[in-house]
Amino acid sequence: MKKSTVLILVVALAGLGGGIIVNQWLSKPATAPAPQAQTDRRPDFTLIDLEGTPRSISDWDGKVILVNFWATWCPPCVREMPAFIKLYETYQDKGFTIIGVALDNKQDVIDFVDPMGVEYPILLGDQKGIQLTQEYGNRLGVLPYTVVIDRSGRIVERHRNEMTFEEAEALIKPLL
């Protein structure tokens, strides 16, 4: 066998082995998975609302909560907003709330939500919000990302991408 053929074979095998190792490394979670009971419990957080007041998710303990991570520059986020407004108006008196976590700057959020007539709490996530979406299970970092939490603080649904009124209603109604 020629030296060049052997060299090509060695390089090819080294590349294949390296690729397998990198694939295995990338497919492992960054941290060890938490026990199942902890994964279902909603992570605590405190963010600033549009008036500059710190708000903790625990402010809404005992309610069914839909947490929606969104941004003004995200077309599916904008499209689903009227459905969430209607959902909030329909069920807010039945122990339900929506918390919008905007991954955007304050002025853009205010300029967006005021004309839309958003009445549910909007919190400013900024960079902390991106990490928070991951803590809530959004490992791909997609927007919109919505989480439904029951009255005991357990996460019962994680939803990537746009959500319709009917989809959201079907998730929250049994929890009310």
pLDDT above 70: percentage of residues in the chain:
78
Determine the Cα–Cα distance for residues 75 and 53; give it in Å rounded to an integer: 28
- My answer on whether 111 and 132 are in the same domain is yes
Instruction: Specify the length of the chain in residues.
Output: 176
Q: Same domain, yes or no, for 73 and 156?
A: yes
Confidence (pTM): 0.77
Are 79 and 19 in a shared domain? Answer: no
Query: Domain total for the chain?
Result: 2
Residue 40 predicted with pLDDT over 90: no
Does the pLDDT at position 50 exceed 80?
A: yes
Cα separation, 80 vs 83, whole angstroms: 5
- Alpha helices, H only, 46-98: 75-91
Whether 9 and 69 map to the same domain: the answer is: no
CATH number of the domain enclosing 70: 3.40.30.10
Q: Is-contact 45 57, C-beta < 8 A? A: yes
8 and 47 in a common domain: no
pLDDT band for position 108 (50/70/90)? Answer: very high
Residue 71 and residue 25 share a domain: no
Q: Are residues 24 and 50 in the same domain?
A: no
Same domain, 45 and 84: yes
